[in-house]
Amino acid sequence: MDESTKNSIFKTVLLMFLAAVVGISIFVVITRNGKNTNTTTEDQVLTEVQKITTIDLAKSYPKTPPTVVDLYARTMKVLYKQTYTDEEFDKMAAILAGIFDSEFLLNQSNWPDGLKNEVDEKKKGDYSITKYEVLTSDLQEKRDNGEEIANVLAKINLRHGTSTTPYNYLFVLRKDSEGLWKIMGWTVSEITDEEQ
What pLDDT tens digit does each residue of the chain (196 aa) get? Answer: 666 676 677 667 666 666 666 667 676 777 676 555 544 445 578 899 999 999 999 999 999 999 999 999 999 999 999 999 999 999 999 999 999 999 999 988 788 999 999 999 999 999 999 999 998 776 667 776 888 999 999 999 999 989 999 999 999 999 999 999 999 999 999 887 655 5
Q: Do residues 66 and 149 make contact, with C-beta atoms less than 8 angstroms apart?
A: no
Give me the pLDDT at residue 126, please. 92
Question: Where are the chain's structural domains?
Answer: 1-44, 48-190
> Do 168 and 189 touch, CB atoms closer than 8 A?
yes
Residue 89 · residue 97 · CB < 8 Å: no
What does the pLDDT read at residue 34?
A: 56
Q: Of 110, 169, 107, 98, which Cα lies nearest the Cα of 137?
A: 169
**CATH C-level class of 48-190:** alpha beta
pTM: predicted TM-score of the whole model, two decimal places? 0.74
pLDDT of residue 5: 72
Q: How far apart are the first and last CA of the chain?
A: 101
Residue 81 and residue 163 in contact, taking contact as beta carbons nearer than 8 Å: no
